[in-house]
Amino acid sequence: MATAVSQPVPWYNPPKIARAVFQARRYPVVPVAILLFLLVIPAVFAPLVAPHDPLKGSLSKRLLPPVWAQGGSIEYPLGTDKMGRDLLSRMIYGARVSLLVSFITVFVGGSIGTALGLMSGYFGGKLDTLIMRLVDIELAIPTILLALVLVAAVGPSFGTVILLISLVIWTRYARQARAETLTVKEQDFVARARVAGASHTRIMLRYIFPNIVNTLVVLATLQVGTIILLESTLSFLGVGIPRPTPAWGVMVADGRELIVTAWWVSMFPGLGIMLTVLSLNLFGDWLRDHLDPKLKHV
């Protein structure tokens, strides 16, 4: 009796699947997916994807557990806080706050730090000494102490957070831009531009800056995670985003006295902060490996 020959499944091809898995490992698929799911999509489409108003609550529905726990409701998938507000909606709008703070502070602090770092490395001398001493002074000031002083002077607000974080991060860009400029300005193409009569501004913007921008982009990517963590810390301590604005740090602070009886109030925004910062760091490491020519062939 002839035995039937099994036909291979058309879509199952081990070599192709292995190649696809290998190609996927070369790219930060998981960190990018987490960032899209937790940060980018909620921040951009918050009014469309949030099931409830993040500022409105009902005391009759306060401290409802997540949908999978006993007493949970599908209407509030992640539960509610002590004011009866939907945690999922507040986390979605909190992502918008974190992303907005990150973009503005990276642009402001990065622009100021890069400009000062370029001038410091290019001109050197007394200007270099002055800028580097300002950097040292800023790095010596505790961030929390600076935050307390600013809040005491102008009060907690979105603008105060932007100002504080910009004052903290510009020094990183200044030191990195200075170090890169000291190397690039000794290259032959810069010397030829100087001999050809190019102005200092043109040399810095046309010849030096394009050669250091890759490093600054990597630094900015890594700084986004640091900024989100710093903003959440400040909000947790009450010197950042003021209530009732939904921010992840504020949400963690709202649930710290309920950590035993209503763990979900702090747990979910805390997990959101952890996964977002971790994914940003992994994406920044991948970006550094691909933009740094010294690491491309390692």
Check whether 292 has a pLDDT greater than 80: no
Residues 171, 175, 176, 181, Cα dihedral to 10°: 130
The pair of structure tokens assigned to 264 is 């979900």
* pLDDT the model gives residue 47: 87
SS3 at position 80: strand
The mean pLDDT of the chain is 83
The residue assigned the tokens 């370029």 is: 118
> What is the tens place of the pLDDT at every residue in 7-64?
555 555 556 655 655 555 677 788 888 888 888 888 888 888 888 888 888 888 888 8
Walk me through the domains of the chain, giving residue ranges and CATH numbers.
Answer: 100-243+270-291 (1.10.3720.10)
pLDDT-derived band at 4, boundaries 50, 70, 90: low
Q: Could you give phi then psi for residue 242, rounded to 5 degrees?
A: -75, 155
From the number of C-beta atoms within 10 Å of its C-beta (0-12, 13-18, 19+), residue 215 rates as: middle
Are residues 230 and 243 in contact, defined by beta-carbon separation less than 8 angstroms? Answer: no
pLDDT-derived band at 297, boundaries 50, 70, 90: very low
| Residue 7 or 74, more confident | 74
Mean pLDDT of 290-297: 59
Are residues 161 and 101 in contact, defined by beta-carbon separation less than 8 angstroms? Answer: yes
Check whether 2 has a pLDDT greater than 60: no
pLDDT-derived band at 119, boundaries 50, 70, 90: very high
> What is the tens place of the pLDDT at every residue in 211-252?
888 888 888 888 888 888 888 888 888 888 888 888 888 888
14-18, 201-205, 258-262, 272-276: the lowest-pLDDT one: 14-18
pTM: 0.80
